[in-house]
Amino acid sequence: MTSKPKVEVAREHLTKAQEEAAAGDLRDAVQWSFASLEAAIDALAEKHGITIGEQHWRRRDAATELRGKGVLPKDLSDLHQLLNEERKAMFYEGEDPDLGELSIQDVISEVETAVRMAEAESE
pTM value is: 0.94
Return the pLDDT at 20: 98
What confidence tier does 123 reach under pLDDT thresholds 50, 70, 90?
A: confident
Q: What is the domain range of residue 30?
A: 6-122
Q: Tens digits of per-residue pLDDT, 58-95?
A: 999 999 999 999 999 999 999 999 999 999 999 999 99
Return the pLDDT at 6: 95
Alpha-carbon distance 22 to 62, whole Å? Answer: 30
Return the number of other C-beta atoms located less than 10 Å from residue 119's C-beta. Answer: 15
Judge whether 77 lies within some domain.
Answer: yes
Alpha-carbon distance 3 to 119, whole Å? Answer: 17
Count CA within 13 A, CB hemisphere, residue 22.
6
Judge whether 24 lies within some domain.
Answer: yes
Judge whether 41 lies within some domain.
Answer: yes
Return the pLDDT at 56: 74
Among residues of the chain, what percentage have pLDDT more than 70? 100
CATH number at residue 23: 1.20.120
Q: Crossing angle, helix 104-122 and helix 26-47, to 10 degrees?
A: 30
For residues 123 and 48, the answer to whether their CB atoms sit within 8 Å is no
Judge whether 44 lies within some domain.
Answer: yes
* Overall number of domains in the chain: 1
